[in-house]
Structure 1
C-alpha cells in the first residue's frame, strides 16, 4: 500500500495528514477554513487519493500559517507514500473546464520543486479564504512533494470557478502521475536511476 502519514506540530499549527495513493477519493478534511476544506476535498475526489487532514491553526492571527502548513504537510505525506517513485508514470497533464473557465495543469514528480503560476483572482476572498493564499498553497505542496508544477488559467471570470478548475486540474494531473505503469517493471522513471537532486 502506497500510503503516508505526517504529523507536524509548531507554535502556529498542529496538523495530521494521511494519504493513500491507491485509494478511491475518500476524504475527511477539517482545516478551519471552509473553502480550503472544499478544495482539498476536490483534490482527493478527483485524484482518487484518499486524504485525511486535521488542522488546528492560529486562525485568530490570520489564515497564512494554516494554509501554508497544511499544504507542506500534504506534500510530505505524498512524498512519503511515493517512496523511491519506482514504476510511476511521473508526468500528468489535465485541462479542467468549469462553465466559462478553463484551466491547464501540468506536472512532473521530478523531485525538483518548482511552481509556474499564471492565474489570478479579481476578489480578495472566496468564502472567508484569502485568495492571495491560493498560489502559496500550490507553491507549498509542490515544495515538499517534489513537484515541477505548472498551473495556468487559460480564461475565466468567476473566481470560484477559477479556483475549483485549478484544483481539479491539479487532482487529475496527479492521478495520472502517481499511477503505476506495469510496463516499467517498478523501475524509477529516470535515466539517472533516481528522481530529485
Structure 2
C-alpha cells in the first residue's frame, strides 16, 4: 500500500517568509496567499490541474517588487516536491504536456533527474499582466528557474505559439502541473529507482 507523499517547508530570509505544505497525491485543493494576486491565481491552478494539495503562505517585500516573492516561492515549492518524493523509487520520472489555451500553445517536458537545468523559450518583451498591481511576465521564467533548481529537475518549457501574456503564463503553469503529475506518478512496473545509476 502506497503511503501519501507529503512535505512541509518553512524558509525565512531578510526578504521573504514562506511556509508551504504539499500533498503530492491529493485532489487539487489549495489555500494560496502570496500577497501577489496573479501569482496566487497561477499557484491555485497549478494545484488544481496537477491534483496536488497545496497550502502556501508568503510574506514578502512586495513593496520593493514581486521578484523575491516569486523566486523564493519557487525555491521552497521545489524543496517540498523533493522532500515528498524521497528517493523517487517507483515513479514514472518523465513527464510531458502540450497545453493549448486559446491562441497559446505551451510545451512542458521534465525529467526528475537529480540534475537542475532549465531551457525556456518564449516571446521577448511581453507586456505585464493585470491592472494596478501589474505582474511582470518575466517572473514566470524566474519561478521556473528557481523551481527546477531546487527540485533538481531538468525542465524544458517553450511557448510554441502565443500573444496574450496572461494566456502564456497560465498555459505554462497548467502544463507544468500536468507534466509533473505524470512524472511523479507511481508506475507498478517500475522496481526501485528508475535509473540505471540506481540513484536520482
Give the TM bin, normalised by the shorter chain.
over 0.9
Map 1:1-197; keep pairs closer than 5 Å: 1-120=4-123, 122-127=125-130, 128-185=134-191, 187-195=192-200
Q: Secondary structure at the match of 1:120?
A: coil
Number of residue pairs aligned between Structure 1 and Structure 2: 194
CA shift for structure 1 position 175: 0.5
Offset at residue 122 of structure 1 (A): 4.4
1:135-191 deviation per Cα after TM superposition (whole angstroms, max 9, x unaligned)? 010000000111100000010111111111111111110010000001114x11001
Rounded Cα–Cα distance in structure 2 between residues aligned with 1:121 and 1:23: 35
CA RMSD of aligned residues (A): 1.0
The TM-score, its normalising length taken from structure 2, stands at 0.94
**Native 8 Å contact 1:27 1:44 kept in 2:** yes
> Structure 1 134/55 Cα, relative in aligned 2: closer, same or farther at 3 Å?
same
Following the alignment from structure 1 to structure 2, what is the Cα–Cα distance between the partners of residues 132 and 14? 22
Unaligned runs of 5+ in 1: none
Task: Tell me the distance in 1 between the aligned counterparts of 2:167 and 2:127.
Answer: 15
Give the Cα separation in 2 of the matches to 1:43 and 1:101: 17
Deviating above 4 A after TM superposition, structure 1's stretches of 4 or more consecutive aligned residues are none
Query: Deviation string for 1:83-104 (max 9, x for gaps)?
Result: 0000000000000000111111
Indicate conservation of the 8 Å contact 1:121/1:131, yes or no.
Answer: no
Cα distance in structure 2, aligned partners of 1:20 and 1:158: 32
Q: Structure 1 stretch 43-52 or stretch 115-124: which is displaced more?
A: 115-124
